[in-house]
Amino acid sequence: MADIKASQVAQLRNKTGLSMMECKKALVEAGGDEAAALEILRRSGADKASKKAERTTGSGIIEAYSHEGRIGVLVEVLCETDFVTRNEEFKQLAHDVALQVAAMNPLYVSRDNVPAEILDEQKKIFEDEARSGGKPEDIIAKIAEGKLEKYFAEVCLVDQPFVKDQDTTIGKLITEKIAKIGENIAVSRFVRFELGLK
């Protein structure tokens, strides 16, 4: 078993915000390798988040954000209890989501919100593009699926790369906060106004 120093645990805690016990357990499991410990904690966070996903989100906040008075956003971010609505990390998450909506102008919260007729239309466009590009019929569906994934990353908030960190998505950011805060969190809706646009 690797000899884990308190300084290693503290360093990992500073990076993740998780408890000393969770950080030490991950470092022990990873044999003292910090990168491997981070991956263990990430997987563990995703597991915790998926278990909490079914829990009812009856509280939350509406975050307002304005960019130079030209773009305005309202975002409703839900959680399970009033206690969490006062948590600074939860408030920061709501602010980051509002900032994302202002910057990236998503059309939907998630792919589940994309109307079926829009999905069918997009898929047909991508299939037609592949066909006209001379691609064989047997791989056209795969090409269309790949392009649909890119489409989701453009128009769905939770699939978009986070403007402050392109290596993560809004969905992953929310999952990390669920694991850290210990409650289910969901973005339920948003509205974005841009001066002069109807």
How confident is the model over 117-159, as pLDDT tens digits? 999 999 999 998 888 888 888 888 888 889 999 999 999 999 9
Contact in structure between 181 and 81 (CB atoms under 8 Å): no
Identify the pLDDT of residue 22.
Answer: 78
Q: Where in the chain is the domain with CATH 1.10.286.20?
A: 115-155
Both tokens assigned to 151: 């489409």
6-52: CATH number: 1.10.8.10
Cβ within 8 Å of residue 2, ≥6 positions away: 27, 28, 31, 32
Q: Where in the chain is the domain with CATH 3.30.479.20?
A: 59-109+156-194
10-24, 52-66, 167-181: segment of lowest average pLDDT: 10-24
Identify the pLDDT of residue 162.
Answer: 96
**Residue percentage of the chain with pLDDT more than 90:** 49
Both tokens assigned to 105: 């102008």
Q: What is the pLDDT of residues 9-53, one digit of tens each?
A: 788 777 766 667 778 888 888 888 888 887 877 777 655 555 555
Contact in structure between 104 and 160 (CB atoms under 8 Å): yes
59-109+156-194: CATH number: 3.30.479.20
Question: Angle 92-84-35 (CA atoms, 0-180°, nearest 5)?
Answer: 60
Contact in structure between 97 and 77 (CB atoms under 8 Å): yes
Topology adopted by domain 115-155: GTP Cyclohydrolase I; Chain A, domain 1 (1.10.286)
Backbone φ and ψ for 168, nearest 5 degrees, come out as -130, 165
Q: Where in the chain is the domain with CATH 1.10.8.10?
A: 6-52
